Structure 1
Amino acid sequence: MELTGTHSVPGPRDRVFAALCDPEILLRCIPVLEEIDRVSPTDYVARVRATVGPLKARFSGRLTLEPDDAPRRYRLHAQGNGGLAGAVKGVALVTLDEADGRTELTYRLSVALGGAVGRLAAPLVQGKADRVLAAFFERFAAEIAETCGDMPQSG
């Protein structure tokens, strides 16, 4: 499954990138995320709960950030296991372009699903992923706007 999109976020690129690496912010912004801990500057462990159609599962996994050209671009590798529900593996390429005090975040995500979650109809999984991403970007933009509003303005 492939997911792509572009979202405009208020605030400078450095601040947006830092927020994308902050477990506390991610926990507040990703609706399916139950737990996330940073275990090194580039590695995280996380647990998500997923409900897709009749399937309800918790996935535990690992995220690894490869900051190719941070804060302009990075790659994120994710791998999770949901027991009988199956497994998820994905790679996201994220680019951050700054203009006029905003950051345009563009992503391309490739996901492989196995087990029960992989056997569900692709449109069902795709629809759920689209709703989770929309909720994340709405919450994330609000979070960044609030924290950037607290920052002193340069000038």
Structure 2
Amino acid sequence: MQMTDSQRIAAPREKVWEALNDPEVLKASIPGCEELVKHSETELEAKVKLKVGPVKATFGGKVTLNDLDPPKGYTIVGEGTGGVAGFARGEAKIHLEEDGPDATILSYEVNAKVGGKLAQLGARLIDSTAKRLAGEFFTAFGEQVAPAPVPEFTETANGAPEIAAAESAPGDEQKKGWFGGLLGGKKKQVVDDPKIGDPAE
């Protein structure tokens, strides 16, 4: 099974490289990861709980970082066993390319193999699950490295918090004007229309 993809991360390449070597970031990014212990600069031990179709299993195994080329990338190799569920082996070649001073293109090429009950589930299910897990990992990793900005809050006149208004997109003023005219114009017509007399008359 092979797959390739890439993702743009809104962070400098050095920061992305540091995160790729941070066990806490990796643990938070790996789907179902319960433990990730770093034994050395290139060796880690992991425990991951996964569900592939009808098969649920907890895999324990080792992860090795090879071909280190900081801050351009490395190859991450993993091998784990899940008891009667079988085993999984794989490697991912990760390459980091600068996209301006504040962004990075993370490209990856994954090769994986499974055995035991997992292999009996069929190549289509294995491939779709692997692609989903890889997508979840790199999405979570990107959020760890470059989290989405938190809305800014300001205080109103009475001290209540208020989310700062975003800049108007092109055409917004025209929409506001049309909508405001629709509401404001009707309200003004009710007040100023000479045909409408005083309710008391």
TM-score (norm: length of structure 1)? 0.89
Consecutive unaligned residues of structure 2, counting only runs of 5 or more, are: 151-201
How far apart are residue 73 of structure 1 and its match?
2.3
Cα distance in 2 for residues equivalent to 1:52 and 1:108:
21
Cα distance in 1 for residues equivalent to 2:121 and 2:42:
32
User: Which residue does 1:77 correspond to in 2?
Assistant: 77
Q: Given that residues 17 and 73 in structure 2 are in contact (C-alpha distance below 8 angstroms), is that contact kept between their aligned partners in structure 1?
A: no
Letter of the structure 1 residue corresponding to residue 64 of structure 2: T
Range with greater deviation from structure 2 (36-45 or 65-74): 65-74
User: Which residue does 1:135 correspond to in 2?
Assistant: 136
User: Which residue does 1:46 correspond to in 2?
Assistant: 46
User: Which residue does 1:144 correspond to in 2?
Assistant: 145
Cα distance in 1 for residues equivalent to 2:5 and 2:51:
22
Cα distance in 1 for residues equivalent to 2:5 and 2:139:
14
How far apart are residue 7 of structure 1 and its match?
0.7
How far apart are residue 81 of structure 1 and its match?
0.7
Deviations 1:12-53 (A, max 9, x none): 111101111111111222222111010001100001111011
Counting matched residue pairs gives 148
Q: Which has the higher strand share?
A: 1
How far apart are residue 137 of structure 1 and its match?
2.2
1:33-112 maps to which residues of 2 (within 5 A)? 33-100=33-100, 101-112=102-113
Cα distance in 2 for residues equivalent to 1:31 and 1:106:
19
How far apart are residue 67 of structure 1 and its match?
3.8
**Quick one: higher RCO (CA 8 Å, sep 6+), 1 or 2?**
1
Cα distance in 2 for residues equivalent to 1:140 and 1:68:
19
Consecutive unaligned residues of structure 1, counting only runs of 5 or more, are: 150-155
Q: Given that residues 5 and 106 in structure 1 are in contact (C-alpha distance below 8 angstroms), is that contact kept between their aligned partners in structure 2?
A: yes
TM-score (norm: length of structure 2)? 0.69
SS in structure 2 opposite 1:146?
coil
